[in-house]
Structures are given as structure tokens and as C-alpha cells.
């Protein structure tokens, strides 16, 4: 049975996993997979992440092109679908230049740290109920301290960036590194604080338990909207995406920490950045949007509820939504200035996350009804809208003061 199952594992990475028939019957006993199966699943996750990275570069360039009303890469293969392959061949075959004044060992170590620790987190994310993967569990490892593990590994991953900048022995690279370490210290606090809200409300650090809690109580975004918003913003900062991509600001720092990198080492940094993005896009739905479960209101419809209840399908839909959202943000917003990032991290992100965490802790400690949190979430949305509307007002007179328009 098992050997037969292995042969049937599709070789197309995550897209292939869609064809797996879900196991709806949930066994109650805690199951631990044999070690060889964990190894196969870890291989599948890494293989899938690398495939997804290659095609994310293409998808991102095409979507950005659409946002900027141009074509994007569409020459290699049908609709540019073979572009990632061409990019891979190019980056492997290019000359690998190491600056003479660089610290060779650290220069070589930095991209490895980046990619290794980027890959390590995705295996924790559950893609379905127990035994949904050919009778095995659809996650690589199920840790009872799952959220802390993700937090720890993503912190270590940042070392790749600023060791790279230091080892390059170049001013631009060092500036990029310093920016990334300073930014890390300022927004990791907000990230951790916003993560504490779901942990305290659910009472577990395990991702499986958080998904199950959302199945019985409703999605956490309904109760923890501010924490959700803060976590999404901090995730963007963590992946060094565009509003926060100061470590590699091309216009100011040439390429930031990866200025001196070329060939496959440079590609490894890109790989790490996209894998962080994919992991964040999978983590946010797991924590706040019900994980692999389909939206509750759809289960009421008989035909759809039965047929489209594949766990893998909904996880992929949610991941794709957030990936698109991140690309959309990149195509829409400017990069923050350095002092703006600092003030945002310490002055907005951390206090708001702290206040919201205290509210959630009070609700849990005094055993208040959950509906209070839902009402407070709605109130915070209204308050934020009012803030945005009022905050936009002072710009109105400036618009009339343009020469030739006012007076």
C-alpha cells in the first residue's frame, strides 16, 4: 500500500498535490509518521517551494507589468512560461564574482544561511486534516511550540542578509545590512506582539490547534482584526517587501546587501526572499483565516459544500490570494523612508499590538464573551477608516496651491 502510494506522488510540486483525494474521516489518535515518510514530505515541501519560487518570479513580473500597463516577460515559451527556466540557466552559468577584499568564508556562508532558514518553516503549516496525505499527515512536523519555532527560525534567517552586507566589504552593502538589522529590531517586536493575540485567545502555540479552534468558533480575523492587520504589515517588513525594502533599495544603495553578489549566490537571496513571502502567505491564512478549511458559509450549500471541501484546494486558494495581495501592494505603494520605518515600527506597530494584546488578554482572563472582541474589531475598523479620512484632509489645500491651479 505504502510503496504504491509513493509511486503515485506527483512530481509537479504543490500543483500536483491538488489531485490527492482528501481523507474526510479523522482518526482521533495522535499519529506520528515514520521517519522515511517525514523525509519524503520534507523533500516535497522543498521541491514545491523551489518550483513555486521560480514561477513566483514570473507571476510577479507579469502582474507588476499589468499594473504598470505593459506586457512583461512573454517571449520565452508560450506566454513566457519558460522564463524561470531561462533565468535559472542564466544565473547558474554567469560568472561568480567574489570581491578581493571580501571575507570569503562569510561571503559564501551568508546566502546559504538565508536559504536554509527560509526553507525550514514551511513544513509546519497544515494542509489538511490528519491522514489526508495518502494516509499520512499533510504536514512535515507538528510541533507543540509551532509559532515560537516559526518566529525563531525567521529571526535567524535575517543573519543571511546582514552577514552578506558585512562580508562584501562594500559601503552600499554594509548600509543595507545595517538597515536590515535596525529594521529587524524595530518591527520584530510588533510582529511578536501581534502573534501573541491568537496564541492567548486559542490557548495553544500549535498551528493545528489554532486551525481547529477556528473551525468551532469562527475565523480569528473576526475577533482579532487589528492583530491580523498588524501581522500582515509586519510580515511584509519581515520579507523585506516593497514598502519596507530598505535593505536593498536600488535607487539609493544600488542593490543593498546583495550589491556585490552575482550569479547563483544572488539568485539564492532572491530565492530566500520569495520563500519568506510564500511562507508568510501560508501562515497568515493558517492563523487568521481558518487554515485549510473551506469558508463556513459555503458548507451550507449542499453541492459545493461536498465537492469543493478539499483541504488542499482551500489552502492553495488562500496562499494565492495573499501572494497576489503582496504583489499588488508592491505595485501600489512607495518605499518608506528610513526614519518613517523606524517611527512606524516603534510608534505605531508596537503600541497598537501591545494595546490589542492587553485587550485580548483581559477578555481571556476575565472570561468575557468572545463577541466583545468581534465588536471591538469592527470598532477598530471604523476608527481606522475615520483616521484615514481625517488624515487625508490636510493634503487638500496643498493640491490647490499648485501653480496655475489656485488663486
Residue of the chain from 118, 120, 163, 271 that contacts other proteins (CB under 8 A): 163
- Min CB(338)–other proteins separation in Å: 12
Place of cell 468575557: 368
State in angstroms the smallest separation of the CB of 181 from other proteins: 5
State which of positions 280-309 bind other proteins (CB under 8 A): none
State which residue, 14 or 244, has the beta carbon closest to other proteins: 244
Smallest gap from Cβ 106 to other proteins, in A, equals 7
Spatial distance between the Cα atoms of 124 and 183, rounded to a whole number of angstroms: 26
Q: Name the 3-class secondary structure at 380.
A: helix
Residue 145 is a binding residue for other proteins (CB under 8 A): yes
Minimal distance, residue 69 CB to other proteins, in Å:
32
**Helix, strand, coil shares of the chain as percentages rounded to 5?**
70, 0, 30
**Which of 268, 267, 276 lies closest to 245 in space, CA to CA?**
276
What distances in angstroms separate CA 355 from CA 3, 341, 362, one per listed residue? 53, 20, 11
Q: How far is the CB of 258 from other proteins (least distance, A)?
A: 16
Q: Choose which of 14, 107, 127, 162 interacts with other proteins (CB under 8 A).
A: 162
Minimum CB–partner distance for residue 217 and other proteins (Å): 19
- 3-class state of residue 120 by DSSP: coil
In angstroms, what is the minimal distance from the CB of 109 to other proteins? 7
Nearest Cα to Cα of residue 51 among 10, 111, 3: 10
- Span interacting with other proteins, options 13-21, 155-163, 306-314, 321-329, rule CB under 8 A: 155-163
Geometric angle at alpha carbon 12, from 11 and 14, rounded to 5°? 115
Site for other proteins contains 141 (CB under 8 A):
no
Alpha carbon 332 to its chain centroid, in Å, reads 18
Cα 301 from Cα 295, distance rounded (Å)? 11
Does 240 bind other proteins (CB under 8 A)? Our answer is no
CB of 395 to other proteins, least distance (A): 11
Q: To 10 degrees, the CA torsion angle through 230, 231, 235, 237?
A: 20
| Of positions 3, 25, 30, 105, contacts other proteins by CB under 8 A | 105
Contacting residue, 14, 149, 223, 310, with other proteins by CB under 8 A: 149
Is residue 88 a contact partner of residue 145, using CB atoms and an 8 Å limit?
no
Burial of 29 (0-12, 13-18, 19+ CB in 10 A): exposed
Residues that bind other proteins (rule: CB under 8 A) add up to a total of 31
- 307's enclosing H/E stretch is helix 302-307
Q: Is 155 in the site for other proteins (CB under 8 A)?
A: yes
Q: Give the residue from 281, 284, 308, 283 showing the smallest Cα distance to 295.
A: 308
| CB-nearer residue toward other proteins: 163 or 349 | 163
Nearest distance, CB of residue 190 and other proteins, angstroms? 14
Q: How far apart are CA 112 and CA 157, in angstroms?
A: 10
Q: Which of these ranges, 58-66, 101-109, 296-304, 352-360, lies near other proteins under the rule CB under 8 A?
A: 101-109
CB of 80 to other proteins, least distance (A): 39
Count the Cβ atoms, other than its own, within 10 Å of residue 4: 8
Q: Minimum distance from CB of 336 to other proteins (Å)?
A: 12
**Residues 363 to 392: which contact other proteins by CB under 8 A?**
none
List the one residue from 6, 18, 81, 156 that touches other proteins (CB under 8 A).
156
Neighbouring-strand partners of residue 133? 136
Does residue 158 belong to the site contacting other proteins (CB under 8 A)?
A: yes
Return the SS3 of 262: coil
Between CA 226 and CA 210 the distance in angstroms is 18
Residues between 168 and 227 that touch other proteins (CB under 8 A): 174, 177-178, 181-182, 184-185, 188, 203, 205
Integer Cα distance of 150 and 132 in angstroms: 23
Part in contact with other proteins (CB under 8 A); list of ranges 4-12, 139-147, 236-244, 303-311? 139-147
Task: Give the footprint of other proteins on this chain (CB under 8 A).
Answer: 103, 105-106, 109, 143-145, 148-149, 151-153, 155-156, 158-159, 162-163, 165-167, 174, 177-178, 181-182, 184-185, 188, 203, 205
Amino acid at each position: 500500500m505504502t510503496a504504491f502510494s509513493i509511486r503515485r506522488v506527483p512530481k509537479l510540486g504543490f500543483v500536483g498535490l491538488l489531485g490527492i483525494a482528501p481523507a474526510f474521516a479523522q482518526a482521533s489518535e495522535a499519529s506520528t509518521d515514520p521517519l522515511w515518510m517525514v523525509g519524503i514530505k520534507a523533500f516535497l515541501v522543498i521541491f514545491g517551494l523551489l518550483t513555486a519560487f521560480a514561477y513566483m518570479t514570473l507571476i510577479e513580473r507579469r502582474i507588476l507589468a499589468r499594473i504598470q500597463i505593459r506586457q512583461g516577460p512573454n517571449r520565452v515559451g508560450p506566454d513566457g512560461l519558460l522564463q524561470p527556466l531561462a533565468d535559472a540557466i542564466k544565473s547558474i552559468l554567469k560568472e561568480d564574482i567574489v570581491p578581493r577584499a571580501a571575507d570569503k568564508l562569510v561571503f559564501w556562508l551568508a546566502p546559504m544561511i538565508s536559504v536554509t532558514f527560509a526553507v525550514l518553516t514551511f513544513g509546519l503549516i497544515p494542509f489538511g486534516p490528519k491522514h489526508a496525505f495518502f494516509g499520512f499527515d499533510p504536514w512535515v512536523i507538528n510541533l507543540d511550540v509551532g509559532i515560537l519555532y516559526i518566529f525563531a527560525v525567521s529571526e535567524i534567517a535575517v543573519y543571511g542578509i546582514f552577514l552578506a552586507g558585512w562580508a562584501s566589504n562594500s559601503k552600499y552593502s554594509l548600509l543595507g545590512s545595517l538597515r536590515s538589522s535596525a529594521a529587524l529590531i524595530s518591527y520584530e517586536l510588533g510582529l511578536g506582539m501581534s502573534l501573541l493575540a491568537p496564541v492567548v485567545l486559542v490557548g495553544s502555540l500549535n498551528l493545528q490547534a489554532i486551525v481547529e479552534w477556528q473551525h468551532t468558533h469562527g475565523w480569528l480575523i473576526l475577533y482579532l482584526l487589528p492583530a491580523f492587520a498588524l501581522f500582515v504589515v509586519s510580515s511584509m517588513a519581515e520579507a523585506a517587501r516593497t514598502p519596507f525594502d530598505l535593505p536593498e533599495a536600488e535607487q539609493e544603495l544600488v542593490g543593498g546587501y546583495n550589491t556585490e553578489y552575482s550569479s547563483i549566490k544572488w539568485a539564492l537571496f532572491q530565492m530566500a526572499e520569495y520563500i519568506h513571502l510564500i511562507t508568510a502567505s501560508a501562515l497568515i491564512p493558517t492563523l487568521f483565516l481558518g487554515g485549510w478549511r473551506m469558508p463556513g458559509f459555503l458548507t451550507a450549500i449542499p453541492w459545493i459544500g461536498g465537492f469543493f471541501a478539499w483541504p488542499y484546494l482551500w489552502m492553495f486558494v488562500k496562499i494565492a490570494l495573499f501572494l497576489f495581495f503582496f504583489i499588488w501592494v508592491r505595485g501600489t505603494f512607495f518605499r518608506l523612508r528610513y526614519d518613517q520605518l523606524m517611527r512606524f515600527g516603534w510608534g505605531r506597530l508596537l503600541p497598537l499590538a501591545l494595546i490589542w494584546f492587553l485587550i485580548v488578554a483581559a477578555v481571556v482572563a476575565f472570561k468575557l464573551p468572545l463577541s466583545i472582541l468581534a465588536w471591538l474589531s469592527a470598532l477598530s475598523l471604523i476608527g481606522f477608516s475615520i483616521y484615514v479620512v481625517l488624515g487625508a484632509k490636510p493634503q487638500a489645500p496643498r493640491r490647490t496651491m499648485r501653480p496655475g491651479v489656485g488663486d
